Structure formats: structure tokens, C-alpha cells
Amino acid sequence: MLMSLSSAWILLPAVLLAGGLIGASGIGGVLLVPVLTQLGGVPLPQAIAAASLGFALPALVVLGPLRREHAMARRCVPLLGGALAGAAAGALLVRWLPGAALMAGVTLLVLFSGWRGLRASRMPFVAAAPLGAPALLGLGALVGLGSALTGTGGPVLVLPLLMLLRQPIVFAVVAAQAVQLPIALASSTVHAVEGRLDLQLAALCGVLMLIGSIAGQRAAAGLDVRQLQRFVSMLLLAVGAWFAWLLWT
């Protein structure tokens, strides 16, 4: 892992910020690959590989809430299983599929779900019926595939999809945090086998994001459901706008 001292001074706080946003809302990992490539000068394939493994550590923060909420933990199982399989497939396909087209689709999804969530936060929230295990399994596979192909970690796909399907916001945030773990393990294993994984860089990113994630989770604990929904929606709009700018430039 090679980077200048000036790059490190910018890179390290940016990775901490990504971890804080992961802990607060489940989103934040989307910042990591652009930060590594734009600020750290890391080649894109190595940045995606390091990000994939780095997401495993902040994902561990969500194990506490899942241990306390057994029903929520059971609901997450098929989602995580599907994500594991999808991420392995995506990591194998990453060299052949056009990343720009995939990111354009992700950008539209993120912007639309952020706009819809912000509108919904002004009205009483009416949750839809909980998704069954087959639907969560398929959703997890889709999220794992897309996340491995774009290096986004999982939450930026699963969170807007669950919000669009009107699943409870607390479940959506916890699921978005948890889904990072199987995606990280599956995709980083494939990246390691194919020689793209920089373990030192991945460990540095993982530790920094873990520290930030713990702080972010504590900061978000004081928000009620309506405030959390508004915060997540505004963050989705900001991320979508940033993605659009990156695609345009």
C-alpha cells in the first residue's frame, strides 16, 4: 500500500466519516471506493477488493442489536444467505460487466428512494406486510451481485429497496448494516484468489470504519423513527447526487 503523506491526511478522516455514516444509517460504504481511488490513488480493482473486505469490520457492530432482537435476526437470515451467493457471483463477473452502466442504475435507484422516503417522512408511515423468506433471499442475491460489481458494500442497494417496499425503517437500517458481512466475506475471498486484495489496505480501512461505525451508531440512537427516516432519505439524495456527478465528470 503506497500513498503520500498528504493523501493519508485526507484519506484517513474520509474513511472514518464513511464508518460513521455506516453506523448511523447503514450507508457510508459508498464513499470508500471513490475515496481510495480519488484521494489515495489506488487502482479501481484493488480499491473494490480492499473495500469488500474492509466492510466486514463495521458490519460486526450490528451483531449487538441482532442478539437483542431475535425476531429481526431471523428475518435477516435469508437476506444474508442470498447476499452471500450473489456477492460471490458478482466478484467473479466484475471484470466483464460495464461498471458505468451498473452505477447509473444504482444512482437512479438511490435518488428515487431518497426522494420517496423524504416525502413519506412528512406523512404517517404505513408499513407493508413483512417480506417472506423467498423474497428476502432473492433480494439478498440481487443486492450481493450488484454490490460486488460496484464495490458499494450492500447498504446503498438494500436500504433503498427495503424503503421502496415500505419495510420498517429500523429493520431496513439493521439489515443494511448486517448485509455487509456476507458480501464482504464472499467477494473478498474471490478478490484474494484472483490476486487483487491488498490486506494491509483492507485492514486499515476496516479498523477506521469500525471506529467510525461505533460512534455513528451511538449518535443515531437518540433519533426517533421519523427523524431516522428523514436522515436516511436526505443521505440517499446526497449520495445519489454525488454518484451522478461522478458519472457526469
| Structural domain for 93, as ranges | 5-248
- How far is the CA of 233 from the CAs of 13, 113, 118, 159, in angstroms? 24, 7, 5, 10
* pLDDT tens readout for residues 105-141: 777 777 877 777 777 666 666 677 888 999 999 999 9
CA–CA dist 93, 108 (Å, integer): 22
pLDDT at 9: 63
Per-residue confidence (pLDDT) for residue 81, from 0 to 100:
93
pLDDT at 82 exceeding the cut of 60? yes
In this predicted model, what pLDDT tens digit does every residue of 200-238 receive, in sequence order? 888 888 898 889 888 888 887 777 767 777 777 787 788
**How many domains does one find in the chain?**
1
Pull the grid cell for residue 86.
450473489
Gap between the Cα atoms of 94 and 90, Å rounded: 6
- Mean of pLDDT values over 29-54: 79
φ, ψ of residue 37 in degrees (nearest 5): -80, -45
16 versus 10: the higher-pLDDT residue is 16
Query: What is the C-alpha to C-alpha distance for residues 199 and 217, in angstroms, rounded to an integer?
Result: 26
**Statement: residue 42 has pLDDT above 90:** no
101 or 104: whose pLDDT is higher?
104
Q: How far is CA 163 from the centre of its chain?
A: 14
User: Greater confidence, 52 or 142?
Assistant: 142
User: Residues 6 or more apart from 234 whose CB is under 8 A from it?
Assistant: 114, 118
Q: pLDDT higher for 29 or 198?
A: 198
Helix (H, G, I), strand (E, B) or coil at 166: coil
